[in-house]
Amino acid sequence: MIEARGLGKRVDGPDGALTILEGIDLVLNPGRSLAIVGRSGSGKTTLLSLLAGLDRPTSGRSWLHGHELTGLDEEARAALRRRLVGFVFQSFQLIPTLDALENVMVAADLAGLDDAADRARQALERVGLGTRLRHLPHQMSGGEQQRVALARAFVHAPPILFADEPTGNLDGENARSVTGLLFDLQRDHGTTLVLVTHDPDLAARCDQCLRVADGRSVAPA
Amino acid sequence: MKLRRQITRGLGAQLRQGETRLFLAALLFAIAALTTVQLGAQRTQSLLLAKAAEVNGGDLSLSSRAPLPAAFSGAAREAGLRVADSLGFPTMLFAGERQQLADVKAVAGDYPVRGALRVRGSDGVERDAAIPHGGTAYADARLLDALGVAPGDMIEFGELDVRIAGELTEDPDGSQLFALAPRLLVRLDDAQRAGLLGAGSRPGYRQLFAGEPAAIRRFAAWLEPQLDGGQRLRRVEDTADTLRGAYERGRSFIDLALLLTLALGALAMWLALARFAEREADNAALLRCLGASRRDTLLLPLGQVLLLSLPCLLLGMLAGATAEHVLSGMLAERYALDLPRADPVAALPGVLMLAVLLLASVLPPLFSLLRVSPLRTLQSAAAVPGRSARWLLLPILALPVAGVLLGGTPRLVLILIGALVAAALLCALLVWLAVRAMALLAPRLRGLWRIGLTRLARKPMLAILQGTALTLSLTALLIATQVGPDLLQQWRASLPADTPNWFLLNIQPEQRAQVIDRLQDNGAARLGHMPVATGRLVSINGKPASEHIPPEPSMQRWRDGPLNLSWSAAMPEGNTLAEGEWWQGDGSAGEVSLERGFAGRLGLKLGDSLGLRIGERDVDVRITNLRSTDWDSFRVNFFVVLAPAAARDIAHAYIASFHLPPESAAIREVTRAHGNLSAIDVGAILARIRELVGQLTSAAQGLLLLALAASALVLLGALAYAQAERRREAALLRALGIRRRELARLLALEWLGLGAIAAVIASALAATAGLLLGSQVFQFDYRPSASMFAWALFAALAVCALAAWTAARTATRTPPAESLRA
């Protein structure tokens, strides 16, 4: 389960303090999916990073799978992320010098899995890249790179997945294919999914939707 | 586009970029190191020349068997030089009942023009001294002992009675090292009044000059055309062979240090600029989209880099001069060296020229910006300008030019660069093999080990560049600080304790049996003796020798100088046959054996015929064999050995070599009994030469260490090359849940892995160099010490730990949320 109460983030800017997020409340039950939507600059990605424990809020509290993040330092949050969380990024974020298999194995290794190589291979086969194991990121298309990222996100079967504009850098066909895979994997693993998107179709496939405008949650779309 | 305005407006932003800062830091350090080494080299060069000048007796020395024109010394004084006249001749000295043959040196003018005379007075205290007053003289310890006198006593010197004013302990004229008989130093006018310079005295005349290098050069150029055949001019540079060897060794150390500094500095700067160009490619593509010309896309970053480089150049020179001042002070104190002053203004043009060369050779990676397509703004992967590794050739090609600009002879520069490039290629190959091995090993490991080794192995070019630079500087460091001193120490230890330390000269045939018996009775060990005669090399293969022998100054002694030769039925001890056959019994009247190196220098080979004039006799011989001589045996050795059949009826004396314990009184006894004998304390000469060579190489070694320390720091900059990429990866790994400590461990693993590889390869290369030097140069089996590996590991890990710490500090501070913004 993911829960947030009164979550907010303020930063110091050149013209004084700037409020990016304020008073966000949400509850997302296990195995459910949530789409965060809103205009560019509305604070969607900031909300995602607070919910995932990548950043600390300046106000409010949040829980990840029953663990309160608010009081934890970065090291403790990293330990939680490693166990509980998978990520999919808009710009794929693969390590350019490692091939597809090795990129997926990084997450398996970090999670301390014994059979990292086998698990990574299976995960890549699951996303349809069983024949591209030894390809480096620059030898793959954007859609393929995002599928490697999906394999990496699910290789250690985390209970929660955060996805930041997972189809934002992809064309229609690839976007549909990656979206299909994402929801299939979510369903198969029973994963709780939080995704940030501009894509109304993608948002429509989620169980819940949170619209953010000027740093505040507004009525669900 | 208002280019100038754009350039200046963007300076601040450029300065905030990591790559720009890295480039500027590398430049600043390279210039600082270059200035340090240039000034240090200048100072060491002056020190080397000053030491050589001490042995030479001056910056220039002119010698002749006939009196030298006073016009020469007059002209030298007018040119602002210090001038001294010196006259050397042998004479018998008397003190009561005792007599002794002595080498007299009579001096006048500014003697000594270089170095200082050291004299121990009757109070037993040693001090600097001027030339003796009229009616007094300085005598060395052997003369005092032979005549049984002490400072304050009178001796008979020709028609004069002179008082011994002190014991001569140091005379900065190299002739003292090679003096055959005990030495007496007197005033020139006293020598003239003593009536010893009549016909038959055959004195040697010398004029010694010292002064500013430019004035010396001008004076030598004026003097040279006026010399007649009997007058010989010697410069510092062509002084005694032993010192020249040390001088050249020192010089190549310095050149090597400089070239290494330059090569590593250029490498660090090239890495930074290649990275800079990659980053600028996005800006260039955008500017192209907005309509900028190709020229502008290049000139904008180029102008910014050059503008930012200027203050770094000045700061670097200032920092270098300060560092050199401090380090020289420390060196001077440690080795008790009297270092000459450094002249920063004189070093300035050299440093500037090298800085320009350095910049010119590392800037070309920016030229790849000319090829950036505006399409890159839409599709970044489509129009990557490519890392142009071929530009790396430029700094490599610039090295020989830099070497020659620094004043190295083209041959030496080529040899050094050849060695450097060969070593770099070998290092690169070995590092590549090690990286391949890691790539194979990584899949068998787990967790952080697998991630770390895979990441290292997946950037082979970067690993090879960094590993090679580290290995190369480590190898040089090990050779300079570990192998070199070890070699010398082991070589000294390999010499037998009873290595001959005395030579006894001028033993007449009728004295031979008695002298040898007496020496044996007194416990002389390794006693050997050979006949010796003096001749001249008159012709080679029927042509005058002067036409055959190369015209270099170092060859002059063979063209018209006396040549000591010997003869023997058996091959002299310590010699081995290199080519040809040794003769049977006394051989035939036409056979001669030459030392191989001597034959090589004179361009002689087996079968060549030589015409020798020995006394009144002409002897024609053919070279029937060449010998290799172990000069380290310190036995009596000759370049030319005749078959005994060729040496019949030649007037000769004998020379003996042997070892005596320091406390033995045998020499005193033998020379007292036979006043005509001259004893040479080889041990003392060797000690003096060793001390000189030691001082010179210490100074040069210090310089090499300095350059290597500088290179290590430049290297550290290069190690941070992939910082931006690592920052992105760090953010990602942090998002995936890696802990700070684990991330730091991962980075440490990568760097320390690289350090361990470099340490292993560098120790192996340094040990191989030691083994080769031992077997080829020193002719003994060198044993590499285990501590060398430990030392290499320590040095490599220290550098890499510093790099890992720098990398880890940045990486662990990277907020994981950055991965969402990338």
**H-type alpha helices, B637-681:** 666-673
Residues B749 and B445: their CA atoms lie apart, in Å, by 13
Work out the average pLDDT over B694-711: 59
CA within 13 Å, CB half, B51:
26
Give the per-residue pLDDT at B382: 42
3-state DSSP assignment of residue B102: strand
Judge contact between A73 and B812, C-beta under 8 A: no
B241: pLDDT confidence band, cut at 50, 70 and 90?
A: very low
Q: What tokens does A194 get?
A: 């939080």
Inter-chain CB proximity A110 and B738 less than 8 Å? yes
Give the per-residue pLDDT at B43: 76
Kindly tell me if the per-residue pLDDT of B167 is higher than 60: yes
A116 in contact with B, Cβ within 8 Å:
yes
B177: pLDDT confidence band, cut at 50, 70 and 90?
A: very low
Give the per-residue pLDDT at A26: 92
A208: pLDDT confidence band, cut at 50, 70 and 90?
A: very high
Give the per-residue pLDDT at B822: 58
pTM of the model: 0.59
Q: Which tens digits make up the pLDDT trace of B103-124? A: 889 999 888 888 788 899 888 8
- The residues spanned by each domain of chain B are 66-229, 409-488+722-822, 525-659
User: Hey, what amino acid is at B427?
Assistant: C
In the DSSP assignment, the letter for residue A207 is S
Least confident interval from A61-75, B242-256, B300-314, B480-494:
B242-256
Cβ-Cβ contacts under 8 Å, A48 against chain B = 820
Report chain B's mean pLDDT, rounded to a whole number: 78
3-state DSSP assignment of residue B634: coil
Inter-chain CB proximity B733 and A87 less than 8 Å? no
> Nearest CA of chain A to the CA of B742: how many Å?
10
B22: pLDDT confidence band, cut at 50, 70 and 90?
A: confident
Give the per-residue pLDDT at B266: 77
- CA distances to B18, B35, B311, B356 from B319, rounded to whole Å, are 22, 8, 12, 18
Residues B77 and B266: their CA atoms lie apart, in Å, by 48
Alpha carbon B196 to its chain centroid, in Å, reads 44
Work out the average pLDDT over B336-352: 75
Name the residue among B158, B755, B130 with its Cα closest to residue B471.
B755
Select, from the ranges A56-70, B531-545, B709-723, the one with the highest average predicted confidence (pLDDT). Answer: A56-70
A85 in contact with B, Cβ within 8 Å:
yes
Give the per-residue pLDDT at A148: 93
Residues B707 and B689: their CA atoms lie apart, in Å, by 27
Alpha carbon B754 to its chain centroid, in Å, reads 32
B758: pLDDT confidence band, cut at 50, 70 and 90?
A: confident
> Nearest CA of chain A to the CA of B804: how many Å?
19
Residue scoring higher pLDDT (B495 or B239): B495
Kindly tell me if the per-residue pLDDT of B349 is higher than 70: yes
CB atoms within 10 A of CB B44: 26
Work out the average pLDDT over A197-205: 89
Give the per-residue pLDDT at B138: 94
Work out the average pLDDT over A19-37: 92
Inter-chain CB proximity A98 and B455 less than 8 Å? yes
CB atoms within 10 A of CB B258: 26
B240: pLDDT confidence band, cut at 50, 70 and 90?
A: very low
Q: Which tens digits make up the pLDDT trace of B423-475? A: 788 888 888 888 888 888 888 877 777 777 787 777 777 778 778 877 877 78
B711 burial (CB, 10 Å; 0-12 / 13-18 / 19+) is buried
Residues B84 and B70: their CA atoms lie apart, in Å, by 11
Q: What tokens does B353 get?
A: 């020229």
Residue scoring higher pLDDT (B240 or A118): A118
Crossing angle for the helix pair B460-478 and B410-441, nearest 10 degrees? 130
* Kind plus residue range of the DSSP H or E element containing B806: helix B786-813
Give the per-residue pLDDT at B476: 74
Work out the average pLDDT over B82-97: 87
> Nearest CA of chain A to the CA of B743: how many Å?
11
Give the per-residue pLDDT at B741: 83
Q: What tokens does B85 get?
A: 């006249």
Give the per-residue pLDDT at B632: 61
Nearest to A112 among B447, B454, B815 (CB): B447
Work out the average pLDDT over B28-50: 76
Work out the average pLDDT over B223-245: 69
Residues A196 and A168: their CA atoms lie apart, in Å, by 10
Cβ-Cβ contacts under 8 Å, B740 against chain A = 74-75, 78
Report the complex ipTM: 0.76
A195 in contact with B, Cβ within 8 Å:
no
Q: Which tens digits make up the pLDDT trace of B517-526? A: 888 888 888 8
Give the per-residue pLDDT at B717: 59
Work out the average pLDDT over B159-178: 77
Kindly tell me if the per-residue pLDDT of B233 is higher than 60: yes
Three-class SS of B374-407: HHHHCCHHHHCCCCCHHHHHHHHHHHHHHHHHCC
Residues B535 and B246: their CA atoms lie apart, in Å, by 30
Nearest Cα residue in chain A from B816: A54
Give the per-residue pLDDT at B821: 63
- Strand spans (E) along chain A: 2-13, 16-28, 33-38, 59-64, 67-68, 85-88, 160-164, 192-196, 208-213, 216-218
Length of chain B equals 822
Judge contact between B183 and B193, C-beta under 8 A: no
Q: Which domains does chain A have, with CATH numbers?
A: 30-56+73-218 (3.40.50.300)
Residue scoring higher pLDDT (B11 or B5): B11
Q: Which tens digits make up the pLDDT trace of B543-570? A: 888 787 776 655 666 766 678 889 999 8
- Bond preceding residue B112 cis, omega within 30 of 0: yes
Q: Which tens digits make up the pLDDT trace of B622-658? A: 999 999 877 666 677 888 999 998 888 888 889 888 8
Residues B744 and B805: their CA atoms lie apart, in Å, by 8
Annotate B220-247 with b (16+ C-beta within 10 A) or e (fewer): eeebeeeeeeebbbbbbeebbebbbebb
Judge contact between B408 and B416, C-beta under 8 A: yes
From chain A residues 145-184, the ones with a CB under 8 A of any chain B CB are 164
Nearest Cα residue in chain B from A47: B817
Sign of CA dihedral A79, A84, A85, A86: positive
Work out the average pLDDT over A96-102: 85
Crossing angle for the helix pair B786-813 and B740-773, nearest 10 degrees? 150
The per-residue DSSP string of B132-183 comes to PPTTEEEE-HHHHHHHT--TT-EEEETTEEEEEEEEEEE-SSGGGTT-SS-E
3-state DSSP assignment of residue B464: helix
Alpha carbon B532 to its chain centroid, in Å, reads 35
Residues B155 and B148: their CA atoms lie apart, in Å, by 10
Work out the average pLDDT over B214-239: 81
